[in-house]
């Protein structure tokens, strides 16, 4: 328990190479990932009440060879950073991989969080990226740890669904994206390209890395200048701006929609150009 409590802090997580996963949904996703791929889940701390409520998780943990540790409510609370703990916490290996590994393939859609500090926003963007079909989320510069408890909860398990990578050298992350053949798009409220302008269709239809800046200051000028296009989401009402997670959802889904259209058009072209059986 003492070792697990140290994982509430980033320094403890980085030193141990492990993090805490709290709540039924996140634990379920962790156990699923453990059985589907090479992710180690070491312990499941669970109260009697939580075990009665989620017997399937106890069964799944035993099946995966995870050590199940019954704990008191007070002990479970000491592993939680929430107001209303659910009474079950798993200890897992850290998820992040090197940037080059996350970009292997390469993916057609990537989200880059450059200096994003709020764990709730980071987790929500990871969830949105997962839902939009992105192939990776990269955390660049002085960004929050995606293994932070609030980030993991905000992702609702999506941290287990797509590659995550961290690198403090934000410029190197952008260079790696460009080397992987991705067009770099900065989400910028004053960008020169309107997201809904037909002129954006060709840009969004190709492999894309969306770069999102911090909540308070946006992208630093040097990073914005390093992107290929600065794209704005049009504001039709009186709102001053969109928050980070909302803007990311709009941008990532715009790319996903263009990719879908491009894929459908390509399929039609292949069908129409295929030799016809004239018998």
The predicted structure's pLDDT at residue 267: 37
Given a cut of 70, whether residue 276 has pLDDT beyond it is no
Report DSSP state, residue 191.
-
User: 218 forms bridges with which residues in the sheet?
Assistant: 214
User: 91 forms bridges with which residues in the sheet?
Assistant: 20, 43
Q: How far is CA 120 from CA 73, 117, 125, 127, 155, in A?
A: 25, 9, 9, 11, 8
The predicted structure's pLDDT at residue 231: 94
The predicted structure's pLDDT at residue 271: 44
The domain made up of 99-266 has a fold known as Alpha/beta knot (3.40.1280)
What does the pLDDT average to over 88-92? 97
Residue whose tokens read 């997670």: 245
Residue 176 CB-half CA count within 13 A: 25
Pairing state of beta strands 183-187 and 229-232? Answer: parallel
Q: What is the dihedral of CA 96, 101, 102, 105, to 10 degrees?
A: -160
Query: Per residue in 64-89, is it b (16+ CB within 10 Å) or e — as a string?
Result: bebebeebeeebbbbbbeeeebbbbb
Every domain of the chain and the residues it spans: 2-93, 99-266
Given a cut of 60, whether residue 273 has pLDDT beyond it is no
pLDDT digits (tens, 9 = 90+) for 221-241: 999 999 999 999 989 999 888
Given a cut of 50, whether residue 264 has pLDDT beyond it is no
What is the rounded CA–CA span in Å between residue 276 and residue 208? 35
Do 27 and 90 meet the contact criterion of CB atoms below 8 Å apart?
A: yes
Given a cut of 90, whether residue 49 has pLDDT beyond it is yes
What does the pLDDT average to over 121-132? 97
In this structure, of 6-10, 163-167, 216-220, the range with the lowest mean pLDDT score is 216-220
Q: What is the dihedral of CA 135, 175, 213, 138, to 10 degrees?
A: 30
The domain made up of 2-93 has a fold known as 60s Ribosomal Protein L30; Chain: A; (3.30.1330)
Q: What mean pLDDT value characterizes the chain?
A: 90
pLDDT digits (tens, 9 = 90+) for 143-152: 999 999 999 9
What does the pLDDT average to over 112-125? 96
Pairing state of beta strands 109-114 and 88-93? Answer: unpaired
The predicted structure's pLDDT at residue 99: 97
Do 87 and 46 meet the contact criterion of CB atoms below 8 Å apart?
A: yes
Given a cut of 60, whether residue 242 has pLDDT beyond it is yes
Given a cut of 80, whether residue 278 has pLDDT beyond it is no
Given a cut of 50, whether residue 16 has pLDDT beyond it is yes
Residue 31 CB-half CA count within 13 A: 25
pTM: 0.90
Q: Residue 165: helix, strand or coil by DSSP?
A: strand
């Amino acid at each position: 328990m003492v070792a697990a409590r140290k994982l509430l802090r980033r320094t403890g997580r980085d030193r141990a190479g492990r993090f805490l996963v709290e709540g039924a949904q996140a634990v379920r996703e962790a156990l699923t990932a453990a059985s589907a791929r090479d992710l180690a889940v070491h312990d499941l701390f669970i109260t009697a009440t939580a075990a009665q409520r989620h017997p399937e998780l106890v069964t799944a943990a035993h099946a995966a060879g995870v050590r199940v540790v019954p704990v008191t409510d007070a002990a479970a609370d000491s592993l939680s950073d929430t107001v209303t703990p659910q009474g079950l916490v798993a200890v897992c290996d850290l998820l992040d991989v090197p940037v080059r590994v996350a970009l292997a393939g390469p993916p057609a859609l990537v989200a880059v969080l450059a200096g994003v500090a709020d764990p709730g926003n980071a987790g929500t963007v990871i969830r949105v990226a997962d839902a939009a079909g992105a192939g990776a989320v990269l955390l660049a510069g002085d960004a929050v740890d995606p293994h932070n408890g609030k980030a993991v909860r905000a992702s609702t398990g999506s941290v287990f669904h797509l590659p995550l990578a961290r690198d403090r050298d934000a410029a190197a992350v952008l260079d790696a994206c460009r080397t992987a053949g991705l067009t770099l798009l900065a989400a910028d409220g004053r960008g020169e390209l309107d997201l809904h302008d037909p002129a954006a269709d060709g840009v969004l239809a190709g492999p894309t890395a969306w770069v999102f800046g911090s909540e308070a200051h946006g992208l630093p000028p040097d990073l914005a200048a390093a992107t290929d296009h600065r794209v704005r989401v049009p504001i039709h009402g009186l709102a001053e701006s969109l928050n980070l997670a909302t803007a990311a959802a709009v941008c990532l889904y715009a790319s996903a929609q263009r990719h879908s259209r491009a894929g459908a058009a390509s399929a039609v072209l292949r069908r129409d150009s295929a030799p016809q059986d004239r018998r």
